Each structure stands twice: as C-alpha cells, then as structure tokens.
C-alpha cells in the first residue's frame, strides 16, 4: 500500500514537471511598503533614501515601494495613510511627525515605522516610560542631545544674553524641543524667548521680530523651518544674528553651526528594522526606538565667515567630506587615465 501511494506521488510530480509546474519550490515572498513623507527637504529626503536602501539591500527585488509626499499638508497625510490601508500594504514608513500621526490614526494593524521623529511621546500624545511604544509602532528618532546643543551654543556665544527659539507651533516635536532646551539654556544664564509661527505664511514676520530682539537664534529640527531656510537666512544674516540649528539641513541653509545627526543613517536603521518585521524575524510591538549612533559638530563656513564668527578646530565644515570624496574620485580617475596612456 505504501509503495502504491509513493508511486502515485512520483507520477504526479512527473506530470507536473512535464507541464512546467514546480511543486517543490515555494513562491517567492513579496512585500509592498508604503512611504509617507511629510514634505521635501534634505533631511527627510535623506531618511527616506536610507530606508529604501536598507530594505533593498536586505530583500532585493522582493520589496516594492509606494512613495508618497504630502507637500507639508496634514490633511493630505491622512488621505495617503488611508489609501495605504485600503491597498493593504505590508509596512508603512512615516517620515516626520505629521506623517506618523496620520498613519497611527489610520491603522492599528499594519506595522508603522517612524523616522525623523524627535520624541514619540509628544508626537503621539502619550506617556512613554520606555523606548518601546508597543502595538504596531516603532522607529527611529532624530533627536540630537539637547543639553549638548545648548552647551555648543554657549561655547560659541558665551557673551550673548538673549536667545530666541524659532519654531513652528503646529509641530509637536518642535514644541518639545523648545521646552527642553529652554531649561538647559537658562542654566547658562541666557534669557530665552519663544518665537513660534503657525505656518510658513507668518514665518517672515515672526523671524523678523526674533532677529530684532535676540543675540542668537536657535532653530530646532523643524520641518517648516527646514523648508524655508532661505527666507530665514534673508532676515537673520543681514541683521547679523547667528543661528544655531538642530540639524545639518537647516544649518546649511541659514545656520552658523549645528550638533547634527545623519538622517540617512536613521532612515537606514528604520529600513533594517523593517526588513526584520517583514521577514518575521522581529515583532514590532517589542522593538525599541533607535537613535542616531553619533552626532557631529558642524558649521556653515560661508555664514560663519560673513558674520565674523571664529569656529573651534573640532568642528567640521558642512560639505567638507563630500568635497574630499569628490577630489579623491578625480585623482583616481586621473591616475587611471595616466596609467592607460
């Protein structure tokens, strides 16, 4: 009986092989990942790219991306998030706070990874006792240590008396940064004043008041500010008021110095987390929020020189590494050409 059964199975396998059907190989698993980015600017763009690179490196062609940009509009965030749910994507990357808020409101089932989120507790309006959010939420944070940023401001401007903090009041994480760094700055003896704007429409007028009343301005990691650095620079630089920025993108546009993280790195870390979730290696409800592995003191050489600010030797000029890499590539190409002649 066993021999007859085995023969039947072998015969079926042979017929299947003649028909071009594989009965031994499993169909390759494929994954559809939704990416909701709040707005286009260098920091968020870098985080998205890092996320995609990590997932592609881990899963190759098995992963496809539905990449959407809300153009800074929270209502559009909600629309995109709901569309991801309708399309039953396997995983969502929420890049920036408004994106995360929209995705969390849209689904409790699809895994959501945040990135470029300063503080998950303030972003979601919850008390987070540990770095594990639980449920279907985890991700990476873009928070550089605010106490160290306050120390950097004091290192560069010890004789300043007034510090204005310029941020968008519609961004919960910016509010969190203001409240936190204010305490640290006041410990250094600064008078700290809040200059909040509701959106880009009133940014210029608020920025002008901040420039008129402050010795130094601090701009935290803020998406609206990051999208309007030229406007801020056009107000503050002619007024001779230096800006300390919360991240590299803002600093390169209007700041003097920053204690910055790599947004590409935190995006890449989120991508590595995503690969583990999709393949079943990890449960998102048990995954802790991850932070940037290192921070770097950086400065904007052009603005620092124009404002006559002396920068300590342990600061790195923004773009210096890229320029060095470009020069190395040119030298390598030249050596190659010389060797072939």
What is the pLDDT tens value at each position of the chain, 341 positions in all?
434 444 444 444 444 443 444 433 345 689 999 999 999 989 999 999 999 999 999 999 999 999 999 999 999 999 999 999 999 999 999 999 999 999 999 999 999 999 999 889 989 988 876 789 999 999 999 988 999 999 999 999 999 999 999 999 999 889 999 999 999 999 999 999 999 999 889 999 999 999 999 999 999 999 999 999 999 999 999 999 999 999 999 999 999 999 988 999 999 999 999 999 999 999 999 999 999 888 999 999 999 999 999 999 999 999 875 554 444 444 545 555 555 55
For the record, the structure tokens of 239 come out as 């007024």
Query: Rounded CA gap, 301 and 309, in Å?
Result: 9
Query: Rounded CA gap, 94 and 37, in Å?
Result: 6
Q: Which of 134, 86, 142, 80 is nearest to 111 (CA)?
A: 134
Q: Answer whether 35's CB lies under 8 Å from 48's CB.
A: yes
Half-sphere exposure in the Cβ direction for 203 (13 Å, CA): 23
| Helix runs in 284-319, H state only | 301-307
Question: What's the DSSP call for residue 79?
Answer: H
pLDDT at 127: 80
Question: What's the DSSP call for residue 285?
Answer: G
Query: Rounded CA gap, 77 and 295, in Å?
Result: 30
Burial tier of 120 (Cβ tally within 10 Å: 0-12, 13-18, 19+): buried
Q: Answer whether 50's CB lies under 8 Å from 113's CB.
A: no
Query: Rounded CA gap, 133 and 131, in Å?
Result: 6
Query: Rounded CA gap, 282 and 136, in Å?
Result: 12
pLDDT at 144: 86
Give the relative orientation of helices 42-59 and 263-278 as an angle to the nearest 10 degrees: 40
For the record, the structure tokens of 158 come out as 């010890």
pLDDT at 306: 97
pLDDT at 92: 98
Q: Which of 233, 119, 229 is nearest to 176 (CA)?
A: 119
Within 8 A by CB and 6+ apart from 48, the residues are 35, 37, 67, 93, 95, 267
Give the relative orientation of helices 172-187 and 146-156 as an angle to the nearest 10 degrees: 50
């Amino acid at each position: 009986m066993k021999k007859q059964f085995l023969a039947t199975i072998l015969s079926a396998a042979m017929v299947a092989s003649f028909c071009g059907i594989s009965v031994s190989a499993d169909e390759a698993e494929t994954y559809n990942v939704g990416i909701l980015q709040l707005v286009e600017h260098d920091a968020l763009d870098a985080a998205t790219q890092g996320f995609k690179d990590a997932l592609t490196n881990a899963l190759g062609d098995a992963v496809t991306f539905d990449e959407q940009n809300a153009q800074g509009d929270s209502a559009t965030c909600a629309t995109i998030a709901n569309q991801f749910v309708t399309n039953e994507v396997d995983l969502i990357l929420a890049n920036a706070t408004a994106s995360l808020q929209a995705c969390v409101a849209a689904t409790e089932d699809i895994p959501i990874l945040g990135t470029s989120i300063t503080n998950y507790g303030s972003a979601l309006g919850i008390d987070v006792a540990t770095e594990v959010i639980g449920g279907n939420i985890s991700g990476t944070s873009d928070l550089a240590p605010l106490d160290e940023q306050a120390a950097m401001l004091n290192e560069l401007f010890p004789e300043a008396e007034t510090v204005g903090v310029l941020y968008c009041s519609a961004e919960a994480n910016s509010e969190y940064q203001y409240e936190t760094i204010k305490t640290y700055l006041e410990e250094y003896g600064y008078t700290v004043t809040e200059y909040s704007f509701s959106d880009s429409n009133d940014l210029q007028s608020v920025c002008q008041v901040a420039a008129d009343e402050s010795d130094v301005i601090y701009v935290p990691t803020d998406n609206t500010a990051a999208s309007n650095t030229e406007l801020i620079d056009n107000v503050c630089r002619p007024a001779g008021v230096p800006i300390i920025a919360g991240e590299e993108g803002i600093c390169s546009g209007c700041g003097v110095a920053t204690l910055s993280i790599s947004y590409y790195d935190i995006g890449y870390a989120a991508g590595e987390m995503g690969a583990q979730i999709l393949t079943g290696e990890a449960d998102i409800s048990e995954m802790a929020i991850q932070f940037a592995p290192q921070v770097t003191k950086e400065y904007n050489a052009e603005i620092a020189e124009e404002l006559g600010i002396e920068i300590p030797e342990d600061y790195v000029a923004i773009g210096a590494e890229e320029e060095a890499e470009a020069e190395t590539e040119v030298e390598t190409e030249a050596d190659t050409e010389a060797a072939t002649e």
